[in-house]
Structure 1
Amino acid sequence: MPHKILVIEDEPTLSRLLSYNLSQEGYEVKVVEHGGEGLQEALQAVYDLIILDIMLPGMNGFEVLTKLRQKGNRTPVIILTARNAEDEVVQGLKHGADDYITKPFGVAELLARVSAVLRRTSTDTAEPAKPSDDKVITIGELNIYPEKYEVVLGGEVIPLRPKEFEVLLYLVQRPGMVITRDDLMNVVWGFDYIGGQRTVDVHVSSLRKKLEMNQQTVQIDSIRGVGYKLVLSKK
């Protein structure tokens, strides 16, 4: 069965470019031009990937993405952002986007990113882990359950996105060690991930804020120009 891709894009030339090239690669493509209609389509039908423009009529891409995630829809999303719009990239990743493409872009880059996201998400869901309360990593005030992707503090789950959890788990397994951005990128996102190191920084920043809001013993320090280090501090 071909992968199904939903394109939410209101610029006719770009939507035709996306539809044509994705179809040529064997994907089944549906194009929606309105933000609100795109949200409804994404919620009503099953897609393997959504390509989402930020500037849309009716409801912008950030709103669409936020509502999707709030309703529990975990379909991978690639956002389309303007050149030099780093704030859009950061905001998109914080709202749950899986990757981004900066306009204008080449067909080869588009297809590579689509293939990488689909391959990565297919691998993530191919063999779902069986929950087990027996496997737990305790560090500081936190109990971390690798097979359930859960971090628990005082009986309450700290809500982390999957990639945030994977970043934390990798750091927890190497306490006190300086981990480079490249290491995190390769381990968490994969060697074939095309996105830049900014993706790592955004996820670490979000993870750090969630940890600091809930406890004080486990902290992530930034090592300027290198990467990050997990440290334990006394309360």
Structure 2
Amino acid sequence: MPQNILVIEDEPTLARLLSYNLSQEGYETKVIDHGGDGLQAALQHPYDLIILDIMLPGLNGFEILSKLRQKGNRTPVIILTARNAEEEVVQGLKYGADDYITKPFGVAELLARVSAVLRRTTNDETAVDKTASGDKVIAVGDLLIYPEKYEVNLNGESIPLRPKEFEVLLYLVQRPGVVVTRDDLMNIVWGFDYIGGQRTVDVHVSSLRKKLEMNQQSVQIESIRGVGYKLVTASLKKGS
């Protein structure tokens, strides 16, 4: 059964481009050019993915995304944002977007990002299991994380992490391939009342990277300039 994609875009030429190329890849697409109508469609019908422009008549993309998440709708969303509009990317990710594409973009990039987001949501490779002794373990590639014990193993070797490094890693591995902003990491790991700056996040991620360098083919933390970080595994790299 083909996967269904809702495109909420009011620029006719771009909307036709999106619809045509997605259809050529075998996706079923529906195009809506008004924010309010797009929100209703997203709430009333199940979609596998939503491609959402920011500037729309009626409701803008941020309002649509915010309302969807408030109502518990977890349909993955890719936002379309203007080039160099860093604040739009950050705001979109904060509201719950799964990825973003900057305009203008190439067809190959569009299809690759669509495929990657759909693959993550339909075949999440982060497996949560229990060991023979009953300990909870999260497996991502060759990386094994024991949340209750604050222990990490990579290729059978123990990786010593400081508590905050462990918490950063745990947050990232639960969202493989998803861009996580520095503010999100700061608020989740250090708390909203933490008075330090984002440099604290960068220092901990840098240290964490060095400790994972023994097997970059298995798992890697990538920087998204001006936004934050995402964890990439071998299978995600192959599909990108």
CA change 1:211–1:96 in 2 (3 A) is: same
CA change 1:186–1:128 in 2 (3 A) is: closer
The one-letter code matched in structure 2 to 1:61 is: G
Matched, 1:99 2:85: no
Partner of 1:25: 25
Superposed CA deviations along residues 94-152 of structure 1, whole A, max 9, x for unmatched, are 1000000000000000000000000111112998989xxx7569xxxxxxxx7xxxxxx
Residue 30 of structure 1 aligns to a residue whose secondary structure is strand
Contact 2:126 2:173 in 1 (8 A): no
Partner of 2:213: none
Partner of 1:207: 185
Q: Distance in 2 between matches of 1:186 and 1:83?
A: 26
* Structure 1: segments with no counterpart, 5+ residues: 138-145, 147-166, 230-235
Matched, 1:63 2:63: yes
Partner of 1:163: none
The one-letter code matched in structure 2 to 1:176 is: R
Partner of 1:153: none
Q: Distance in 2 between matches of 1:184 and 1:108?
A: 32
The one-letter code matched in structure 1 to 2:42 is: A
The one-letter code matched in structure 2 to 1:94 is: K
Of 118, 141, 162, 1:176 maps to 162
Contact 1:178 1:227 in 2 (8 A): no
Identity %: 62
The CA deviation at 1:85 is 0.2
Residue 52 of structure 2 aligns to a residue whose secondary structure is strand
Of 184, 189, 206, 1:227 maps to 206
The CA deviation at 1:206 is 1.3
TM-score normalised over the length of structure 1: 0.66
Contact 2:129 2:136 in 1 (8 A): no
Matched, 1:74 2:74: yes
Where does 1:85-234 land on structure 2 (aligned, <5 Å)?
Answer: 85-124=85-124, 172-173=150-151, 175-176=161-162, 190=176, 193=177, 199-200=179-180, 202=181, 204-213=182-191, 221-224=200-203, 227=206
Q: Distance in 2 between matches of 1:21 and 1:128?
A: 36
Matched, 1:7 2:19: no
Residue 36 of structure 1 aligns to a residue whose secondary structure is helix
CA change 1:67–1:129 in 2 (3 A) is: farther
* Structure 2: segments with no counterpart, 5+ residues: 139-144, 153-160, 209-240
- How many residue pairs were aligned? 184
Q: Distance in 2 between matches of 1:185 and 1:127?
A: 14
The CA deviation at 1:186 is 8.9
Contact 2:83 2:104 in 1 (8 A): yes
Superposed CA deviations along residues 170-199 of structure 1, whole A, max 9, x for unmatched, are xx54531896xxx89995555xx5x8xxx3
Please provide the CA RMSD for this pair. Answer: 3.9
Q: Distance in 2 between matches of 1:210 and 1:178?
A: 11
The CA deviation at 1:227 is 2.8
CA change 1:26–1:177 in 2 (3 A) is: same
Q: Distance in 1 between matches of 2:29 and 2:201?
A: 42
Contact 1:178 1:228 in 2 (8 A): no
Contact 1:178 1:223 in 2 (8 A): no
The CA deviation at 1:225 is 9.5
Q: Distance in 2 between matches of 1:128 and 1:226?
A: 23
CA change 1:78–1:184 in 2 (3 A) is: farther
Residue 123 of structure 2 aligns to a residue whose secondary structure is helix
